[in-house]
Structure 1
Amino acid sequence: MKKFQTLLYYCYSHIAGAEQFADDHLKFCKSLGLVGRIIVADEGLNGTVSGTQEACEAYMAAVKADERFAKTDFKIDDVEEPSFIKMHCRYKAEIVHSGLRDPNIIDPNRQTGKHLEPAEFQKMIDQDDVVILDVRSNYEHNLGKFKNALTLDIENFREFPDKINELAKYKDKKVLTYCTGGIKCEKASALLLHHGFNEVYQLHGGIIKYGKEAGGEDFEGKCYVFDNRIAVDVNTVNPTVVSKCFNCGKTTPKMINCANPECNEHITQCDECGEELQGCCSVACTSNPRKRKYDGTGYYVKVPQPVNVAKK
């Protein structure tokens, strides 16, 4: 049995005094010995935390005991070791950066796409009148995506609103949105509804929950995650590898961050190119004097990285 767990979760729920809450929540997480990354905003929580099973159970119980977050859906992975090195809890304007801050337009608690459980999503994806829409960034869907999914050329989710006109031709279709854990779909589906799309759905719990409850069927490749693991397997039914090495084009499931910290590009890279380029995305990046030592994983803790200090 694996000793540790990693929790992925979010909850849209107004937090009064969110900046103070972030400081207090950081102190609480540290008291449990958790590591991870949590974003706190006036609109709610978005986090991935990791620790012992006992610590994770205590954390989930405490979060759900707060009536503001009672509806939080935790995605739980058993892991060999914690998925982070440090504990961060920061206050930001949004729990997922979209630039959509007008509650009259986007408020996931008021209007969002119809939530589909994994089994329901699985039944709908092959229907003729359905469009499967991946709302994630390029580096995520390049690593893995649902079969026949429509992907968008975006580097960050905040670019999603600019793609609405491109999607207008699907207004009369059933649009099934999905992302890693569901948080981006809450705002993406709300925006689509605001712009007149007739039927908008979202995969409840995202790719991660789909993998656990539906075996990940027809999800091609791996799923990018925002912790030390970088990528996780999802499909146990009909798995495939779809991503190709950024440098040589060879099929590979491996995702790395460029070893040049001034680049830090997310790319898929085979082991051979990784060794040859010392974990960099290009020959030019290998000459950077700040180049990090490549250990074969391609994951690096960002340095320097400010850490919240609980107020005394």
Structure 2
Amino acid sequence: MQLYNTLSAKERAELIEKAGKDRLTLSFYQYHHIKNPPIFRDHLFVTWNDMEVLGRIYIAKEGINAQLSVPADNFRAFKEHLDSITFLENVRLNIAVEQDNKSFLKLKVKVRGKIVADGLDDDTFDVTDKGTHVDAVRFNELIEDPDTILVDMRNHYESEIGHFKNAVTPDVDTFRDSLPIIEDDLKAHKEDKKLVMYCTGGIRCEKASAYFKHKGFKDVYQLEGGIIEYTRQVNDKGLENKFIGKNFVFDERRSERISEDIIAHCHQCGKPCDTHVNCANEACHLLFIQCDECAAKMNNCCSDACKEVVALPYEEQKALRKGKYKSNNIFKKGRSAVLKFKS
């Protein structure tokens, strides 16, 4: 019985090309007490691998967080399988705004301590006592209210390329960093303001809303389904779109364009640009914003040093990487000193 991915990203990409079939990119989450995450993990992998599902799925005792793609031909079978699992029956599926058959190239189902790293001691508060969910119509009304404080619960590199108008965008690297900062900055308004939050698909706001209620905020709201669902409702109902720029996503696409506004800048030359890339030097892999001109000039690298590395024969590059760990904590996603125009 196969319990782990056995194909490389390159091999999977070739198979997708050869198949010539459309795939659907989607995401979902659900907080639920899972008694035995490893067993549930293996069940999902075996079933979804047979359906040719690809993606990144995290399982924890508190629930599931899934970002994946599935062949369009297999979507009905996939949905039927979800509905056969009691706590996932009719779970909201966030269908991607922009589809790409290669959004995911491996199936990774992992057991983790939490489905979102938040640094919280959940035993101190009721995670089910969450804020009020609102749809796109109500959300648009709320954020025009002068008594509303709108907060982006995402990280700096996400909000840098796109966010809602007049939103507070914390300058943080991780979700766990944002919670104490927001609480401290807004503590004077726990009773006299509406706290409205949003994130990519809703999962971070779900936990944050319960946390802020626990911390004494009286009027807490969250955007149902996050930016992804908001965009779908805006398009379906002909609503005014109050999101500017791109929505950062955690797959090979890296983003979905929500409006034509470009609010970010190339980290190397400062020109308007909102295209995230990873440095071509695999020993670096820094995530940063790079325009086409700088990509050509720098050979898709973040610095002259990395440009020199990628010019070396592959075996020499491999030797340089040996024993070194690529860490987001080290490279800080766009904050590297080698970038002249970083946020």
After TM superposition, the score normalised by the length of structure 1 is: 0.86
Q: CA RMSD in A?
A: 2.4
Cα distance, 1:167 vs. partner? 2.6
Letter in 2 for 1:284: A
Given candidates 267, 277, 289, the residue that maps to 1:256 is 277
Alignment correspondent of 2:263: 242
Is structure 2 residue 241 aligned with structure 1 residue 217? yes
Q: d(CA) in 1 for partners of 2:313 and 2:79?
A: 36
Greater radius of gyration (CA)? 2
3-state SS, counterpart of residue 103 of structure 1: helix
**Contact 1:50-1:56 at 8 Å conserved across structures:** no
3-state SS, counterpart of residue 122 of structure 2: coil
Alignment correspondent of 2:168: 150
Alignment correspondent of 1:28: 47
**Contact 1:260-1:291 at 8 Å conserved across structures:** no
Alignment correspondent of 1:52: 71
Cα distance, 1:65 vs. partner? 2.2
Q: d(CA) in 2 for partners of 1:20 and 1:174?
A: 42
Letter in 1 for 2:174: N
Change (3 A) 1:70 1:292: farther
Alignment correspondent of 1:269: 290
3-state SS, counterpart of residue 123 of structure 2: coil
Letter in 1 for 2:165: K
Given candidates 292, 299, 307, the residue that maps to 1:278 is 299
Alignment correspondent of 1:195: 215
Cα distance, 1:158 vs. partner? 1.8
Is structure 2 residue 196 aligned with structure 1 residue 176? yes
> Runs of at least 4 residues of structure 1 off by over 4 A?
289-293
Alignment correspondent of 1:17: 36
Cα distance, 1:46 vs. partner? 0.5
Cα distance, 1:169 vs. partner? 3.2
Q: Looking at both structures, which has the greater relative contact order when contacts are Cα pairs under 8 Å and sequence separation is at least 6?
A: 1
3-state SS, counterpart of residue 8 of structure 1: strand
* Structure showing the higher helix proportion among its residues: 2
Q: d(CA) in 2 for partners of 1:290 and 1:103?
A: 52
Farther-moved stretch of structure 1 (89-98 vs 211-220): 211-220
Letter in 1 for 2:63: G
Identity %: 35
The Cα offsets for residues 234-265 of structure 1, whole Å up to 9 and x where unpaired, read as 23xxx311111111111112111222334333
Q: d(CA) in 1 for partners of 2:123 and 2:224?
A: 22
Cα distance, 1:103 vs. partner? 3.2
The Cα offsets for residues 11-51 of structure 1, whole Å up to 9 and x where unpaired, read as 11111111121122111110101111100011111011112
Letter in 2 for 1:17: N
Give the count of matched residue pairs: 290
Farther-moved stretch of structure 1 (134-143 vs 279-288): 279-288
The Cα offsets for residues 97-151 of structure 1, whole Å up to 9 and x where unpaired, read as 10224233251xx211110011110122111111110010111001110011101
Letter in 1 for 2:130: T
Is structure 2 residue 255 aligned with structure 1 residue 231? yes
**Contact 2:95-2:228 at 8 Å conserved across structures:** no
Q: d(CA) in 2 for partners of 1:180 and 1:40?
A: 19
3-state SS, counterpart of residue 287 of structure 1: helix
Q: d(CA) in 2 for partners of 1:157 and 1:279?
A: 29
**Contact 1:224-1:231 at 8 Å conserved across structures:** yes
**Contact 1:208-1:234 at 8 Å conserved across structures:** no
Q: d(CA) in 2 for partners of 1:186 and 1:128?
A: 24
Cα distance, 1:187 vs. partner? 1.1
The Cα offsets for residues 64-113 of structure 1, whole Å up to 9 and x where unpaired, read as 22112225210123724141111100000111110224233251xx2111
The runs of 5 or more residues in structure 1 that have no matched partner are 294-303, 306-312
